[in-house]
């Protein structure tokens, strides 16, 4: 199956292991992801805090590129996904805004391609059953807190994906790898998003509460589908960056599929996940 791919800026730097693992795992599972050429930054929080039209125009320019490529657009970063999906929603449902955006970006919206998160693509286009069929190294004994954060599931009238208060899709994929997803009540709480640099203390408190709750539920690791969440969970934690590691879901699927390159993803983590994986005989 062929889909277009919008990595976003984080996946080119701080979340490189998310990009590498997403591409490896997708190709191992027969999902071909082609990066759209010359994509531009979605504008993120800075755009929607400053100029509303720009907050739609930057994603719309990327939707225009994807439209030319003619395939549905997959977005691994939860934050970029949220901006692109909101813009797609506005283009479909708000004719006045659509005309304005068509003028600014200089394109004609056809509505023929859809926008989805990588989590949704894995859930809907591959599915947990297929993953579990392909597992060569079941992640048995690994207890996980699946952490969705904000932007993958909210606002629900736009994302239309999973249950906004108690999402299950990531839990299902992780169960497919043989790991044990736990129930905990902080699945969709906020990690502090991009406020880490500007109001670090607030974010540190949010992150330490998330880690505490995950550990209290018995988790040995947290798994996410968002570069902002993963980064905050690793670097905005108190106690000198010890404690439970935070994975991208694609890394754990790759590990379960026995992909050799998984070691190079884990080497990029700030909180070393290898001691945990070794203790479960999942790494050497």
| Minimum distance of other proteins from residue 46's CB (angstroms) | 4
The three-state secondary structure class of 147 is strand
| Minimum distance of other proteins from residue 18's CB (angstroms) | 11
* 169 and 188 Cβ atoms separated by less than 8 Å: no
Whose Cβ is closer to other proteins: residue 241's or residue 278's? 241
| Minimum distance of other proteins from residue 56's CB (angstroms) | 9
Alpha helices in 94-168 (DSSP H): 95-105, 118-121, 128-134, 156-159
- Of 8, 9, 15, residue with least CA distance to 251: 15
Question: For residue 41, with 0-12 CB atoms within 10 Å meaning exposed, 13-18 middle and 19 or more buried, which class applies?
Answer: middle
| Minimum distance of other proteins from residue 97's CB (angstroms) | 10
Question: For residue 97, with 0-12 CB atoms within 10 Å meaning exposed, 13-18 middle and 19 or more buried, which class applies?
Answer: middle
| Minimum distance of other proteins from residue 126's CB (angstroms) | 28
Whose Cβ is closer to other proteins: residue 198's or residue 242's? 198
Element (H, E) at 146: strand 143-147
The three-state secondary structure class of 131 is helix
User: What is the contact surface with other proteins in residues (CB under 8 A)?
Assistant: 9-10, 12-16, 38-41, 43-54, 57-58, 61, 100, 103-106, 150-151, 154-156, 164-165, 188-190, 192-195, 197-202, 206, 235, 267-270
Question: Which residue shows structure tokens 């109001």?
Answer: 199
Whose Cβ is closer to other proteins: residue 189's or residue 215's? 189
Whose Cβ is closer to other proteins: residue 12's or residue 212's? 12
Contacts of 214 (CB under 8 A, 6+ apart): 145, 147, 184, 186, 222, 244
d(CA 71, CA 4): 6
- Count CB-CB contacts under 10 A for residue 138: 14
| Minimum distance of other proteins from residue 38's CB (angstroms) | 5
| Minimum distance of other proteins from residue 189's CB (angstroms) | 7
Whose Cβ is closer to other proteins: residue 143's or residue 269's? 269
Whose Cβ is closer to other proteins: residue 200's or residue 218's? 200
Whose Cβ is closer to other proteins: residue 122's or residue 247's? 247
């Amino acid at each position: 199956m062929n889909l277009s791919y919008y990595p976003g800026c984080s996946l080119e730097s701080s979340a490189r292991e998310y990009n590498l693992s997403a591409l490896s795992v997708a190709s191992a599972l027969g999902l071909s992801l082609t990066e759209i050429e010359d994509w531009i930054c979605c504008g993120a929080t800075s755009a929607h805090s400053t100029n509303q039209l720009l907050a739609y125009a930057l994603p719309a320019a990327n939707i225009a590129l994807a439209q030319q490529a003619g395939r549905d657009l997959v977005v691994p970063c939860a934050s970029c996904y949220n901006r692109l999906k909101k813009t797609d929603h506005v283009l479909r449902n708000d004719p006045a805004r659509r005309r304005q955006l068509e003028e600014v970006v200089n394109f004609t919206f056809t509505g023929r391609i859809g926008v989805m998160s990588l989590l949704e693509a894995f859930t809907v286009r591959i599915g947990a059953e297929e993953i579990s069929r392909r597992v060569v190294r079941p992640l048995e004994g690994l207890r996980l807190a699946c952490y969705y954060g904000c932007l993958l599931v909210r606002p629900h009238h736009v994302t239309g994906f999973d249950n906004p208060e108690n999402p299950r899709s990531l839990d299902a994929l992780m169960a497919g790898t043989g790991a044990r997803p736990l129930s905990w009540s902080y699945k969709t709480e906020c990690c502090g998003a991009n406020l880490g640099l500007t109001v670090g203390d607030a974010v540190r408190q949010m992150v330490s509460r998330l880690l505490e709750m995950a550990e209290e539920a018995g988790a040995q690791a947290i798994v996410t589908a968002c570069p902002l969440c993963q980064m905050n969970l690793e670097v905005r934690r108190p106690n000198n960056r010890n404690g439970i590691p935070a994975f991208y879901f694609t890394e754990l699927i790759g590990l379960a599929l026995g992909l050799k390159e998984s070691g190079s993803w884990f080497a990029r983590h700030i909180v070393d996940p290898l001691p945990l994986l070794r203790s479960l005989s999942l790494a050497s």
